[in-house]
Amino acid sequence: MPATPLACAQHFVWLTARVLEQRRFAYHFLHGSADAVEAALTAYRNDDDGFGHALEPDLRGPVSQPLHAAHALRVLDETGRCGGQRAERVCRYLTSVSTPEGALPAVHPSLRGYPAAPWLPVTATPPGDLLATGPVVGLLHRNEVWHAWLFRATDFCWAAVESLDKPHPYEAMAAVAFLDSAPDRPRARAAAERLGQIVREQQLVVLEPDRAADHPLPPGNAPGEYHFTYDYARTPDSLAARWFSDAETELALDFLADEQDEDGGWPVRWREWAPGTRLEWRPIVTIEALRTLRAYGRGI
């Protein structure tokens, strides 16, 4: 019998993935346990209640980093465990590394001396960053976590999102991650509507995937590093899903399904900077592609 896309992806994951991604795949698609996922995630946790050890593959070394914490929270969220003492411990770490305005830097100075992607420079006094702060704040609100750190971080996100006028696509995605779970829903819907108009007007999304090569490439992106409707709206209940027509969404999902490579995995579109990082990212990207297709009812 012909192999299904899911079966091909399963083979790819068993062949290439870290233990964490193997267990995430098993949890989402093979009735695996949340305990197994959490046990694998715990191996990345440090004594400061942060996470390190290249959990986010583009930041190497053992030290805790905000982007690692964001990655950990996404894993806890998808397994229904982003709350209680787990969230409390992460929030203690987030408090310790926040900038004076209460936000998270993309890279904390403790990374100095360890390898990192060139687009994530280490500076002595990094500013607060929506890319790091928005998804974390959104996930904590989504799971009804309340911690003192969240108040100023939420204010930072509102100010950053509502002042965006020429965002990079990744900034817009971080804004959506915040807005999808921000507690003030009328304000979130209004901000999302404004942001969606910007995304379309400034051509930050490719609406005709078969003509992507004719589309302007965002500044700093690698050749072929385009962004599609599903990059903004990972699920149909995202506020960003309203930015696109049904036809535009279906075209993008067709493209996403067709992106599966012969080895069963999905490609990484951003720039490769070290031999091992692409190997670690591809199973992560593959799991997210499958989850997106399933969320839109594509038979995964």
Coil, strand or helix at 51: strand
Q: How far apart are CA 83 and CA 92, in angstroms?
A: 13
Rg (CA), the chain: 19
Q: What is the pLDDT along the chain (300 residues), one digit of tens a residue?
A: 458 999 999 999 999 999 999 999 999 999 999 999 999 999 999 999 999 999 999 999 999 999 999 999 999 999 999 999 999 999 999 999 999 999 999 999 999 999 999 999 999 999 999 999 999 999 999 999 999 999 999 999 999 999 999 999 999 999 999 999 999 999 999 999 999 999 999 999 999 999 999 999 999 999 999 999 999 999 999 999 999 999 999 999 999 999 999 999 999 999 999 989 999 999 999 999 999 999 999 987
Coil, strand or helix at 124: coil
Q: How far apart are CA 172 and CA 163, in angstroms?
A: 12
Q: How far apart are CA 2 and CA 297, in angstroms?
A: 21
Tokens of 233: 């709206």
Decide if 232 is inside a domain. no
Decide if 4 is inside a domain. no
Domain count, the chain: 1
Supply the pTM of this predicted model: 0.96
Decide if 286 is inside a domain. no
Task: Residue 146: give the domain boundaries.
Answer: 44-199
Q: Are 78 and 23 in contact (CB under 8 A)?
A: no
pLDDT of the residue at 299: 81
Q: Are 209 and 228 in contact (CB under 8 A)?
A: yes
Tokens of 165: 């006028």
- AA letter at 32: G
Beta bridge partners of 51: 45
Decide if 137 is inside a domain. yes
Decide if 75 is inside a domain. yes
Decide if 296 is inside a domain. no
pLDDT of the residue at 124: 95
pLDDT of the residue at 2: 58
Decide if 22 is inside a domain. no
Report the candidate in 218, 227, 181, 207 with the shortest Cα–Cα distance to residue 82: 181
Decide if 255 is inside a domain. no
Which residues, 6+ apart, have CB-to-CB distance to 215 below 8 Å?
203, 206, 208, 226
